[in-house]
């Protein structure tokens, strides 16, 4: 069996250069923390993850990861330096870890190709360090403002993370550094200090470390340019027809002898639409978002719920592209109201009318719709999501 890869994610940095009280990995980028983005990027490439954190961040980190696939992640407390923190992570590796990828928690934009290059080099040569060619001219200087020399740019590369190693190599290098009191700014330098060969791999200029407020701005721009994913969702709802209630469909009141029963205004069409929207981004369903045990939602206009669901989608970088809704009712005849329903949905969702389709059908007297015991609605929604 191939050797197991473990990831060590470093979250020791304070937010001081960001002018923050909190750890910068807990900052939110498009509705997700920097840390969660880093873990999501790395996790498909490793068999396990160890998070190295500062003791004082433990509660905040746990809280930020609750409800994510990383809520049970193993954490260890780091030391005063990056090197000491990595050493703490290495000490926590399980027996079966053959390779380790050390990654800065603040490099949350790392892409799959960068990680794969590192992994390939590690299995082939024992080490792999993500890096990019230096674009600026680099000079060696004196503190007094004097320039000493210009370095040959063609041989210079800027090191990033992940930095990957065969486990025994990096463990040995850390022991050596401890014995010889070597303080490296990255892990590769500890192998270099031992005279061991280290392999660089192709990283990405987008794999920035979020350290300053400018970096955060840059990260937002990079996320913004990421291609949108198209996601589809379906929704289905039924409400019972009873006397003494209004019949409201897609926010439009339809005159009828009976109306729909429910905790809210029982707009069955709007509910199917909301479920489809939430389904497209896997955010649960309408009952979770607006519990029918909550008095705040009694007899509420479902257009208010629809507007709120749309905001929730936007908070997740998602936008409705188009929707197709079918209402199934034997009576009343809905054709005269269809245009008004489309206009109402288009207005509430801020969507062009051409992207809002509402249709009505019957079941030829079959089933509960045919017996006029209730009305059902089906909806399909296409959503685009960024990042």
Is residue 321 classed exposed, middle or buried when 0-12, 13-18 and 19+ CB atoms within 10 A define those classes? Answer: middle
**Residue 158 CB, nearest approach to Mg ion (Å):** 55
Residue 319 Cβ vs Mg ion, minimum distance, rounded to whole Å: 24
Give least dist CB 23 to Mg ion, A: 42
Q: How far is the CB of 275 from Mg ion (least distance, A)?
A: 8
Rounded to a whole number of angstroms, the minimum distance from the CB of residue 126 to Mg ion is 59
Q: Considering beta carbons, is residue 210 or 348 the nearer one to Mg ion?
A: 348
Nearest to 86 by CA among 1, 204, 189, 217: 189
In the complex with Mg ion, which residue's Cβ is closer, 63 or 292? 292
CA separation for the pair 264, 289 (Å, rounded): 13
Nearer to Mg ion, 37 or 271 (CB): 271
Between CA 373 and CA 4 the distance in angstroms is 59
Residues in the chain: 387
Taking the complex as a whole, how short is the minimal distance between the CB of residue 342 and Mg ion, in angstroms? 20
Give whichever of 57 and 237 is closer to Mg ion, judged by the CB atom: 237
Which strands make up the sheet holding 318-328, listed edge to edge? 259-260, 229-242, 374-385, 318-328, 356-361
Secondary structure element (H or E) that encloses residue 324, with its range: strand 318-328
Min CB(273)–Mg ion separation in Å:
11
Nearest approach in angstroms of CB 306 to Mg ion is: 12
Query: First vs last Cα of the chain: how many Å apart?
Result: 34
What's the min distance (Å) between Cβ of 302 and Mg ion?
8
Q: Nearest residue to Mg ion, using CB?
A: 271
Structure tokens that stand for 27 in this block:
């900052």
205's enclosing H/E stretch is none
Pairing of strands 97-104, 4-11: parallel
DSSP output for 30-83: TTEEHHHHHHHHHGGG-SEEEEEE-GGGHHHHHHHHTTSTTTT-EEEE--SSHH
Cβ closest to Mg ion, residue 108 vs residue 375: 375
CA distance 268 to 44: 40
Cβ closer to Mg ion: 117 or 271?
271
Report the interface residues with Mg ion, using CB under 5 A: 237, 271
- Residue placing its CB nearer to Mg ion in the complex, 4 or 263: 263
Buried b / exposed e along 175-206 (16+ C-beta atoms within 10 A): eebeeeebebebbbbbbeeeebebbbbebbeb
Q: Side-chain half-sphere of 131: how many Cα atoms within 13 Å?
A: 19
Q: Which is nearer to Mg ion, 119 or 271 (CB)?
A: 271
Q: Which of 214, 287, 208 lies closest to 38 in space, CA to CA?
A: 208
CB atoms within 10 A of CB 43: 16
Task: Identify which of residues 159 and 242 has a Cβ nearer to Mg ion in the complex.
Answer: 242
């Amino acid at each position: 069996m191939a050797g197991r890869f473990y990831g060590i994610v470093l979250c020791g940095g304070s937010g001081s250069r960001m002018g923050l009280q909190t750890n910068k990995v807990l900052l939110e980028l498009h509705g997700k923390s920097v840390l969660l983005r880093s873990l999501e990027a790395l996790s498909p490439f490793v068999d396990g993850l160890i998070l190295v954190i500062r003791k004082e961040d433990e509660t905040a980190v746990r809280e930020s990861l609750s409800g994510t696939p990383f809520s049970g992640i193993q954490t260890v407390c780091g030391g005063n330096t990056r090197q000491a923190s990595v050493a703490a992570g290495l000490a926590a590796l399980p027996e079966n870890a053959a390779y380790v990828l050390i990654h800065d928690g603040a490099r949350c934009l790392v892409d799959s190709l960068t990680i794969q290059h590192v992994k390939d080099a590690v299995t082939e040569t024992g080490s792999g360090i993500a890096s990019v060619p230096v674009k600026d001219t680099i000079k060696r200087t004196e503190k007094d403002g004097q320039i000493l020399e210009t370095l040959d740019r063609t041989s210079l590369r800027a090191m990033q993370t992940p930095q990957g190693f065969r486990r025994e190599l990096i463990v040995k290098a850390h022991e050596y550094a401890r014995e010889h009191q070597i303080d490296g700014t990255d892990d590769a330098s500890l192998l270099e200090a031992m005279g061991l060969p280290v392999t660089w791999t192709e990283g990405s200029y987008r794999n920035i470390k979020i350290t300053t407020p400018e970096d955060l701005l840059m990260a937002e721009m990079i996320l913004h340019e990421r291609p949108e994913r198209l996601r589809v969702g379906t929704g289905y709802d039924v409400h019972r027809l009873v006397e003494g209630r209004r019949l409201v469909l897609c926010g439009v009141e339809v005159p009828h002898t009976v109306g729909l029963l429910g905790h809210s205004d029982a707009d069955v069409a709007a509910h199917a639409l909301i479920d489809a929207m939430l389904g497209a981004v896997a955010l649960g369903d309408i009952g979770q978002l607006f519990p029918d045990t909550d008095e705040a939602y009694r007899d509420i206009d479902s257009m208010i719920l629809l507007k709120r669901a749309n905001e929730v989608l936007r908070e997740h970088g998602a936008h409705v592209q188009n929707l197709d809704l079918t209402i199934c009712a034997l009576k009343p005849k809905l054709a005269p109201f269809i245009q008004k329903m489309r206009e109402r949905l288009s207005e509430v969702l801020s969507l062009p009318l051409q992207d809002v389709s509402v249709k009505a059908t019957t079941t030829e007297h079959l089933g509960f719709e045919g017996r006029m015991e209730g009305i059902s609605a089906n909806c399909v929604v296409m959503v685009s999501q960024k990042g």
